[in-house]
Amino acid sequence: MRVVFVASECVPFSKTGGLADVVGALPAALAELEIDVQVIVPRYHGTKQGETSPEGRSLTIPLGARLHFASVQIGGTIEGVPHYLIDCPEFFDRDGLYQDKVTGWDYPDNHRRFAAFSLAALEFIKRLEPAPDIIHCHDWQTSLVPVYLRSTYAQDLYYNATRCVLTIHNLAYQGDFYRFPLADISLSDALFNINGLEYHGRINLLKGGLMFADALTTVSPKYGEEIQTPEFGYGLDGVLRRQAGRLRGILNGVDYGTWNPATDPLIPANYTPADLKNKETCKRVLLERMGLDQPDLSRPVLGIVSRFARQKGFDLIAAIAEELAARDLYLVVLGTGEREYEDFFRSLGVRFPGKFLVKVAYDNGLAHLIEAGSDVFLMPSRYEPSGLNQMYSLKYGTVPVVRATGGLENSVEDFNGSWGTGFKFWGYNGPALLGAISRALETYSRPDLWHRIMLNGMEQDFSWTHSAREYAEFYRGVISHRA
């Protein structure tokens, strides 16, 4: 089986979020299953320049009334997977991937940028014999790939047997634009209709991908259900309900090569399920690093590592901040994001010094230390397509408190007194979150029970191997339905 990933970001070349982690990890896991996988991403301003591929020295991109030109650079083979970078400076030689870093606004030509990337990728793939069985696209930035395959390339014999899979990583981001002539992205205006790219008088690139891809996936089974509802569908729930037979939710995996307390070089002392004593060392070092001279190690530490955004449920933290301040605990917070929540967490640190310990920053080393040194990890998300930190927390013996949504629902089992890996709440409100935290703190006060739930979590396996096997089986099903 031959699979080509086409995506807008991929570690180690470019990253704004979890999409890059998935595109960096899943192909390697598929390669271990002896699937022939290749990855194509743009070369951005911050991506190191590499050697130009002989097959991609000159690509002509017919975009609108003009021809544009690109080349392909070799990103190297990473864990058995060749990576290629589409180099088109007029579209991608910019400081930000999707937004102007100075203004914070999306680039106004994003539709043309990613149309050019999609066309360049399809042209380059044609130079890599044999034709792929699957082209796997990701989010709105590459949603035009299936549209082009079903229109521009519909009569191209090279792609006759190729099928296209589109993964939705976060439905909130759709590539939604004011109406423009579709000829600007080399498509017929006939596609501006309810069964194409039209969406309430606008152009929605993700909708086009949902309509034209051969199969759809998203990043957890629960999220696959949720996006078919008005609450989580962001206006596309009706489209997704009609495509439900072609949609599967597959839970993302995590990289235990990077996130494992037994081997993690970024924490002060390693530990395993068989010997947990060094977890307390990590707790002490964490509290000292956050500014406490003589921390009370008997107090539970509640940790948060997150992008600060409304999606993450921090309005619920605000609703119960006074109640948390009255408890005998520490709250350690790390993250950056929306100014509203940066200011909120800073204010907590000022109002409750020595109890709410806050750092507004991106700090990978501290993120690892919080996972290792905390007792409880909070993820009260409004929605969470997959989530990673709850799975990291389980591995580190740090008990997650999560809202039962998306991947949080699929990866955390509510503790029932004898079995479970964390504590869930369902209603999106402060009292529900406080109730779950209270259950966790009551269990923490019973060391034997707490030790059991820690071990339950550490025994879970959310490695990419499991996800890759499910993707491989899904690909085979898509291929078997070729027309």
Give percent of the chain with pLDDT exceeding 70: 100
Q: What is the pLDDT of residue 483?
A: 39
Which residues span the domain enclosing 320? 277-461
Q: Phi and psi for 455 in degrees, rounded to 5?
A: -65, -35
* DSSP state letters, 395-410: HTT-EEEEES-HHHHH
Determine, yes or no, domain membership for 266: no
CA distance 223 to 252: 11
Is residue 113 located within the same domain as residue 180? Answer: yes
Tell me if 258 is assigned to some domain.
no
Same domain as 243, residue 302: no
**Ramachandran category for residue 356: left, alpha or beta (phi over 0 → left; psi -120 to 50 → alpha):** beta
* 260 occurs within a structural domain: no
**Interhelix angle for 314-325 vs 339-351, to 10°?**
0
Could you give the maximum distance between any two Cα atoms of the chain, in Å? Answer: 72
Burial bucket for residue 264 (CB in 10 Å: 0-12, 13-18, 19+) = buried
Domain match, 235 and 365 both: no
Q: Note the pLDDT tens digit of each residue in 454-469.
A: 999 999 999 999 999 9
Residue 95 lies in a domain: yes
> What is the CB neighbour count within 10 angstroms for residue 364?
11
3-state secondary structure 176-198: EECCCCHHHHCCCHHHCCCCCCE
Residues 53-69 have pLDDT tens digits of 988 899 999 998 899 99
Q: 473 and 424 in one domain?
A: no
Angstrom distance (rounded) from CA 275 to CA 261: 11
What whole-number distance in Å separates Cα of residue 384 and Cα of residue 378?
13
Question: How many other CB atoms sit within 10 Å of the CB of residue 262?
Answer: 14
- Tell me the backbone φ, ψ of residue 43, rounded to 5 degrees: -100, 110
The burial of 232, by beta-carbon neighbours within 10 Å (0-12 exposed, 13-18 middle, 19 or more buried), is given as buried
Burial 429-438 (b: 16+ CB within 10 A, else e): ebebbbebbe
Which residues, including other chains, have CB under 8 Å from residue 266's CB and lie 6 or more apart?
Answer: 364, 365, 368, 369
- In the chain (483 residues long), the average pLDDT of successive 10-residue segments reads 97 90 96 97 91 91 91 95 96 92 90 97 94 98 98 95 97 95 95 95 97 97 98 96 96 94 98 97 98 96 94 95 95 93 95 95 95 98 96 98 98 94 97 98 97 97 96 96 58
Does residue 226 belong to any structural domain of this protein?
A: yes
- Is 389 part of any domain? yes
Nearest one of 174, 182, 130, 181 to 152, comparing CA atoms:
182
Does 262 fall in a domain?
A: no
Tokens representing 115?
A: 């149309």
Beta strands in 79-191 (DSSP E): 81-87, 134-138, 163-168, 176-177
How many domains, in total, are found in the chain? 2
Please tell me whether residues 441 and 472 are part of one structural domain.
no
pTM: 0.94
Contacts of 429 (CB under 8 A, 6+ apart): 316, 319
Shared domain check, 296 and 185: no
Q: Please check whether residues 209 and 173 belong to one and the same domain.
A: yes
Please report whether residue 271 resides in a domain.
no
In a shared domain, residues 241 and 96: yes
Backbone angles phi, psi at 352, to 5 degrees: -130, 65
Instruction: Please check whether residues 361 and 405 belong to one and the same domain.
Output: yes
Identify whether residues 450 and 360 lie together within a single domain.
Answer: yes
Question: Within 10 Å of residue 276's Cβ, how many Cβ atoms?
Answer: 15
Look up the CATH number of the domain holding residue 313: 3.40.50.2000
206 and 296, same domain (yes or no):
no
Do residues 32 and 113 share a domain? yes
Burial 44-76 (b: 16+ CB within 10 A, else e): beebeebeebeebeebebebbeeebebbbbbbe
CA gap 149, 9 in Å, rounded? 21
**Encoded tokens for 165:** 């899979």
